[in-house]
Amino acid sequence: MTSSNPKRHFFRGAGDALPFVLVIVPFALLFGVVASEAGLNVAEVMGFSVLVIAGAAQFTAVQMMSENAPTVIVILTALAVNMRMAMYSASLTPYLGKAPMWQRALAAYLMVDQAYALSQIKYEMEPDLTVPERVAYYVGSVSPLVPLWFTATYIGAVAGTQIPASFALDFALPITFLAMIAPALRTLAHVAAAVTSVGLALLMAWMPYGSGLLVAAIGAMVVGAQVEVFLARKATR
């Protein structure tokens, strides 16, 4: 039996995450620009990124704030967009649930889409990893991303107006989520939830302040869960 080697898996995670730097940097730059143009000062922009670390929710909240949406609607919609983090946490619990509380708290704070996607695949492919190795891999996969997220956000907030429009930074948002979501659609339940969310989001686009996202998120979770229940029942027959 080989001994546990968390250090090696930390660097493995960092290496696996490096390709995401190509989208994290323009994504964060774009948020810094958008947030500053929406009227937030540099301290508010940085506080937003450091406390939330969730690009999609941050973009959604800033857009709604610029439209003078009620505070409760801004909060609820941002929470709906970030509801996937609860599902991420639930799916990682079998792998990280026995880690010390402070390590689980750190993983929760650093929960980002890219680290989750990499870690979930890693844990499934290497089920014999020890808990310290799993935690090390997760933290390693975040290590090149979060500091760059903070740094690029700051640059975007301070010098965003000087970034040429020809750079088209807004490509980063759809590319990032397509790169993460497409490989994750491995079951019928995943596909059903994705199709439902897209369909409902389009159908509910008329709702004020983007509140249709709330309906789409809830509908997608319900459909995905029901498909999983149906498939489980079918498998036991």
Residue with tokens 């897209």: 198
Which residue range forms the structural domain that includes residue 192? 185-237
Whether the predicted pLDDT of 1 surpasses 50: no
Please check whether residues 44 and 144 belong to one and the same domain: yes
H or E element: which one contains 23?
helix 21-37
pLDDT at 79: 82
Is residue 152, in this structure, part of any structural domain at all? Answer: yes
Please check whether residues 225 and 237 belong to one and the same domain: yes
The fraction of the chain above a pLDDT of 90, given in percent, is: 30
Residue in 16, 27, 38 with CA at minimum distance from that of residue 149: 27
pLDDT digits (tens, 9 = 90+) for 103-118: 999 999 999 888 998 9
Is residue 175, in this structure, part of any structural domain at all? Answer: yes
**Average pLDDT of the segment spanning 8-30:** 89
Please check whether residues 129 and 215 belong to one and the same domain: no
Report which of residues 23 and 168 the model is more confident about.
23
Please check whether residues 175 and 212 belong to one and the same domain: no
Report which of residues 65 and 128 the model is more confident about.
128
Whether the predicted pLDDT of 153 surpasses 60: yes
Please check whether residues 96 and 151 belong to one and the same domain: yes
Report how many helices (DSSP H) and strands (DSSP E) the chain contains, helices first: 13, 0
Report which of residues 79 and 126 the model is more confident about.
126
Question: What gap in Å lies between CA 83 and CA 93, rounded to an integer?
Answer: 16
Question: What gap in Å lies between CA 100 and CA 62, rounded to an integer?
Answer: 35
Instruction: Calculate Rg over the CA atoms of the chain.
Output: 19
Q: φ, ψ for residue 128 (rounded to 5)?
A: -90, 5
**Which positions ≥6 away from 200 have C-beta within 8 Å?**
212, 215, 216, 219, 220
Is residue 88, in this structure, part of any structural domain at all? Answer: yes
Please check whether residues 153 and 197 belong to one and the same domain: no
Whether the predicted pLDDT of 173 surpasses 60: no
Please check whether residues 97 and 137 belong to one and the same domain: yes
By 3-state DSSP, what share of the chain in percent is helix, strand and coil, each rounded to 5? 80, 0, 20
pLDDT digits (tens, 9 = 90+) for 174-207: 655 565 566 566 677 778 888 898 898 889 888 8
pLDDT digits (tens, 9 = 90+) for 33-91: 888 877 888 999 999 889 888 877 888 888 788 778 888 888 887 887 787 788 788 88
Please check whether residues 63 and 21 belong to one and the same domain: yes
- Work out how many domains the chain is built from and give that number: 2
Is residue 1, in this structure, part of any structural domain at all? Answer: no
Please check whether residues 224 and 108 belong to one and the same domain: no
Please check whether residues 189 and 152 belong to one and the same domain: no
Whether the predicted pLDDT of 24 surpasses 50: yes
Please check whether residues 127 and 169 belong to one and the same domain: yes
Whether the predicted pLDDT of 154 surpasses 90: yes
Question: What gap in Å lies between CA 237 and CA 234, rounded to an integer?
Answer: 5
Please check whether residues 126 and 170 belong to one and the same domain: yes
Q: What is the DSSP letter of 204?
A: T
**Average pLDDT of the segment spanning 15-36:** 86
Question: What gap in Å lies between CA 45 and CA 24, rounded to an integer?
Answer: 16
**Which positions ≥6 away from 136 have C-beta within 8 Å?**
6, 7, 9, 10, 13
Residue-averaged pLDDT of the chain: 83
Is residue 102, in this structure, part of any structural domain at all? Answer: yes
